[in-house]
Amino acid sequence: MQRILAHVKPERRDKELIYNPTYPIFWQRSMHFETIEQALSIFIPWVTPVLKLSGLYQRGARNAIDVQITPLTVVDPQLPAGFDGFRLLFMSDLHIDGNDALIEPLCALLDTVDADVCLLGGDYRFRMHGNLRKVMDRFREIVPHIHAKEGILGILGNHDSWEMIKPMERLGIVMLINESVDIERNGERIWILGVDDPHFYKCDDYHKANRAIPEQAFRILLAHSTNILAKFSDEPVSFCLCGHTHAGQIQLPIFGPIITHSHFKGEFIYGRWQYRHISGYTSSGAGTSGVNVRYNTRSELALITLRRQ
C-alpha cells in the first residue's frame, strides 16, 4: 500500500478522501449536484425493470454491445511531417466490470485495428465505488487485443480510483495524472497531455501537465470531460479528446439525451466540436453505465488519423 501511495499524485488521493461518493452525508454527495439532470439519476434503478416490462430491454442491451469503429480525420498544418497519417485509437468509458457481454465483441473489434497509440479516456469501473479486482481482470483480458505500436496511455475518470493507477501500469498502461509524454518520429515530436478528472473530483491541472512542453509543440489533450474547457482561455491545445457523456446513452426521439452529466451541451455531448480556438471530439464511449442499454446512441471506438492537409 505504501508503494502505491507514494506513486499516486497527492491531489487525486486527497480529493477522493474528501469527496468519496460512498459517503452518506448529503452535503458531501451534493458536490455532484451541479445540474437538474443529476437529480433524475435517482430513478436509474427503476429503468431496467420498466424497460423489461415494456419489452424494450433486449433491444437496448443488444445496442449496448454493438460496439463499432468511428473513423475520424484531424487535419492540422502544424502537425510535424513525420506524423502525417499517425493513428490514435481512442477508447473511453469502458465501465468494463459492468457488462460481461461486451468483452467478446470488444476484443474481436480491437483485433481488427492497428493503431500507432491507444488512448484510454477514463471511467473503467461501472460504479463510482467498490472492488477493483474485476476491473483489472477485464483489463487483463482486453489489453492483449489492443494493437498500438507506441503503447497505451490512460487517464482517470470520475468512476475511477487512484488505487487503479499502479495495477494499470503493471499491465503496461501509462497513466497520465496531470502529466504528459512525447512521441518521437525521425527527430520530430508530438505531445500527449493527460489530466485528472475535471468532472467530479475536479483535480485536473492542465498547466501542470503542460509544464515541460515546448511552446510550439503539437499537443493532444486527453481529458475525461469537456468541463475542462470552462477553465481555458488561450491554451495552445492542438486537439482535445473527451468522453464521459456516453452521448446521453439513452436518447429519446425529438427530446434527445436525458442525462449527460455535462455542463457543455449540444455539439459537446457527442462528436466534433469547436471551443474558441480549440477543436476536439467527444466520444460516446465503448461501454455503458447505470443501465446496460443504449437507445439512439452507439458504443464506439474512435480511430483518429492525423493529417497535415
* Residues 278-297 within binding reach of Fe ion (CB under 5 A): 289
Nearer to Fe ion, 22 or 112 (CB): 22
Backbone dihedral region for residue 122 (phi beyond 0: left; psi -120 to 50: alpha; all else: beta): left
Smallest separation, CB 58 to Fe ion (Å): 23
Size of the residue set binding Fe ion (CB under 5 A):
3
Nearer to Fe ion, 123 or 204 (CB): 123
11 binds Fe ion (CB under 5 A): no
Q: From residue 118 to residue 157, what is the string marking binding to Fe ion with x (rule CB under 5 A)?
A: -----x----------------------------------
* Residues 57-76 within binding reach of Fe ion (CB under 5 A): none
Smallest separation, CB 94 to Fe ion (Å): 8
**Which stretch in 44-52, 57-65, 88-96, 266-274 sits in contact with Fe ion by CB under 5 A?**
88-96
- CA pseudo-torsion sign 151, 72, 77, 122: negative
Nearer to Fe ion, 45 or 85 (CB): 45
- Closest by alpha carbon to 9, among 201, 194, 178, 206? 178
Nearer to Fe ion, 123 or 235 (CB): 123
Smallest separation, CB 289 to Fe ion (Å): 5
Nearer to Fe ion, 210 or 284 (CB): 284
93 binds Fe ion (CB under 5 A): yes
Smallest separation, CB 286 to Fe ion (Å): 10
235 binds Fe ion (CB under 5 A): no
**Which stretch in 87-95, 104-112, 211-219, 229-237 sits in contact with Fe ion by CB under 5 A?**
87-95
Smallest separation, CB 271 to Fe ion (Å): 17
Smallest separation, CB 288 to Fe ion (Å): 8
Nearer to Fe ion, 124 or 162 (CB): 124
- Closest by alpha carbon to 86, among 221, 193, 183? 183
In the numeric block, the cell 465483441 is attached to 105
Nearer to Fe ion, 210 or 289 (CB): 289
Smallest separation, CB 246 to Fe ion (Å): 6
Site residues for Fe ion per CB under 5 A = 93, 123, 289
